[in-house]
Structure 1
Amino acid sequence: MSELRWTLLILGVAFVAGLGWWERRRPRQGGGAGGASRIAPREPPAEAPPPPRREPTLTLPTMRARDPLVSDALPVLGAAGATAAPERAPGRSDPRERAAEVHAAAAQDEREPPVSGEGGAVAGVPLESLPRLPPAPVPRVEWPPGERRRVVALRLVATQSERFAGRSLRQALAAEGFVLGRFAIFHKPDEQQRAVLSAASLSTPGTFDEDTMDSQHYGGLSLFAVLPGPKPPPETFEELILTARSLNERLQGELQDEQGSPLTPARIALLRERLGAGAGA
């Protein structure tokens, strides 16, 4: 019985001691944890998000209508012989005054006869009643006799794809001063209306018909000069070369010599040399 008491007493004392030890340990653990929490670095507080930015509103300036241009500042061109309008002070023009000016200008145009764009012919007037220009004088052809005659000739031929239109050919010859005359061929006269150069068709018989030429097509021209003529032979030859080149620029053909070879600078120099030798002989 006494052993049981001592056993219970020892167990009670051990329990009380263990409980006291346990109670003493708990505050230390809490204090250690609190200290650790106090020693631990404090994280910086999260930054607050920036407030949303608001773009400034775009305000446009108030647009105002432009003042009308002052027409009085500009010079007014009137018809010849019209009375000058009195000068007015600069300022805005009156619409009623502008309308009156427009009606007056229209009335002036109605009083003047209309003129067409071609040749200055008055509209509504028959062409037969209009005065016509006198025809160009026919050049005088004064070729020397056959035994003294010498001919220097060149060719202006059309390309193989097409032929010269008669109207274009006639206009090109007229622009170079050629006139249709004796033998039904074209002649280029000098100041005294003497034929210096001549142009014939390469097609047989070589003549031109003034009434049907515009509707025809031609394979080429024969440009020639008969020596001796109104001008010295060297001067006539140079004029022949220049005229042939000018016609070629207008008609876009091909220049050849009398035998049909291309008219190169070397060939021109040879023809010039032969002409000088013949003149010396």
Structure 2
Amino acid sequence: MDASTIRLILIVIGAILIVALYLWERHRERQGGYHDDYEDDYLVEDEGADEPYGVRPSRHDPAPDRYEAAEPPPVQEPPAAKPARSKSWLRSRISPEPDVESSPEPGRVERMREPEPMPDEAEDIPEPKTTKPAKAAPAASSAPKAPKRREVSVSDPLLIQLSVSARRYPFKGPEILEVAAGCGLYPGEMDIFHCLDEFEDETRVYFSMANMVKPGRFPFDEMDGFSTPGLVLFAQLEGDPEDMTILDEMVATARKLALSLNGDVLDAARRPLTVKKEEELRQAVTDNELRWKRTRRR
């Protein structure tokens, strides 16, 4: 058989199947419609058709009892009368005309006469109002104290503090002397180390290094048997142009000490010194320089 004849046969068979399916579905719809009409007639004849499936009509009987029992709550009307009394009391307080409300009963007249001393209380109320400005006066007098705070903050230098804490074993005295000399720190006043800068026959202390243990001094004569759990580097900056350089050198010295003595660099709060904390210190130094420039111009 040719391919064309096979195609024709398949097309004819497909058409026959489609027609058969259409007729079958049509037949089913007619039968389904008949059964639906029959079920509708049956449901109309049923007396309980209004009730949902699986619900007995007897359950609806106690419902009215519940609603009847729920009717007593409207007893909440008495509290509504209380605000009415308060309103009448306010009216009597605002407009003391007892003739309108006192006419029905003499008892009410006595009630209306009771609020008469209230104006005396109202006269007493403004008295504390006059005292309030008197209380505000000390606040105004305390306002001039603000400039004093500014003067104190301006005169105080900025304190920068870093720590080098030992990891396992305390720092020994001879090692401290050797590493400190390599970092440019030398024993000086107050029995602590100092980083000095000499310029035009003037010596200035850049920053200092003290013992972490109070009182912070080093026994330079007995350093062979000395040990400490940590060192503290600090500087007092007064807004000079080289303050940022001092901060950089102090941070570099702290890192070198920690690397040589097997320690960790900590900030003023005894937490590890991070890059973010270094940026905060630089910003504080910049703000301090601007603050000192303003004060010097004055």
TM-score of Structure 1 vs Structure 2, range by shorter chain:
0.3 to 0.5
TM (norm. structure 2) is 0.43
Question: Which has a greater percent of helix?
Answer: 2
